[in-house]
Amino acid sequence: MPLELPITGALPAGSGPLPLIPAKPRGGRRRQVWALMFVALLALLIYAWIDVGGSLSQFFTGMFGSKGLFQNIVPASLPPAANQIWPGVDAALTTFAVAILSIFFGVIGSVAMLPLAARNITPSRPLYELARLIQAILRSIPELIMLLFFLIVFGFSPFAAVVALTFHGIGVKGKLFAEAVEEMDMAPVEALRAAGASRLQVFLHAVLPGVRNTLTGLTLYRLDANFRSAVTLGAVGGGGIGFLIDNELNVFQFRPVTTYIIILVVFVMAIERVSTLLRSRLT
């Protein structure tokens, strides 16, 4: 028969003292930390609002005023200019070409840096640090700033945008690729090393096959991002549909801009859809 304790909680003689119940943790210190974090965040938001010159009245005037977006710009943008459909499609294809080329060359550069930039396969720590430093520098410089330099070198052309997106992409994709290699299963790598394979053989036959699906998914994920970046670079001299949009806005021709934006949305949605389908089949 199981031992029953009295309701008072007393134990039978010889059963030993009651175990100590740990005290309930105090939440006062945690609440103080959260309060400090909230105050710091609020102060940061207030500073940012003041620094950018934020104004609710200016926002509502710009959006809904007589010369604002919905009462002035939108009516002047409709209907879209039908005669600009083909020029818009042609320019969008140029923007797509910039995105494709920059993705291709960026992947080549990122894969070439993998043997040095991944901690678990790099031949030495100094080379690892150097590769990661190069990637960090390329990643920290925005594509737009890079384009401004390359416009001086190559002139106003889509090729300058390709070079800018390629170098920036090596910094971004290089970091993502290296992290994928650092998280891979090292058993095939160790097996080839034990068999006496060279570093190149290990990289080609163990490392790349081990992260192939991840690298493919990351590359396809970056494709539509590259297209949108190419549009932005086009507006400042990189050519393509971004260049057309900027030209028409400079002379306040909003109907052609509406046509170009519709074409741009269709291209972005199509690229995203194709990328999603390819990722589901290839990864």
Count structural domains, the chain.
Answer: 1
Task: Please compute the mean of the pLDDT values over residues 65-93 and round it to a whole number.
Answer: 89
Which SS3 state, helix, strand or coil, does residue 68 take?
Answer: coil
Q: How many CB atoms lie within 10 A of CB 216?
A: 16
Residue pLDDT, tens place only, 197-247:
888 888 888 888 888 888 988 898 888 889 999 999 999 888 899 999 999
Alpha-carbon gap, residue 264 to 249, rounded angstroms: 16
Residue pLDDT, tens place only, 44-59:
999 999 999 988 999 9
- Full-model pTM: 0.80
In a domain, 19, yes or no: no
In a domain, 272, yes or no: yes
Residue pLDDT, tens place only, 91-130:
999 999 999 999 999 999 999 999 999 998 888 999 999 9
In a domain, 166, yes or no: yes
Position 20 confidence tier, pLDDT thresholds 50, 70, 90: low
Q: 227: domain CATH number?
A: 1.10.3720.10
Domain that holds residue 89: 85-282
Note whether 193 and 206 are within 8 A (CB).
no
Res 14: pLDDT:
56
In a domain, 71, yes or no: no
In a domain, 202, yes or no: yes
In a domain, 258, yes or no: yes
- Please compute Rg for the chain using Cα positions: 29
In a domain, 181, yes or no: yes
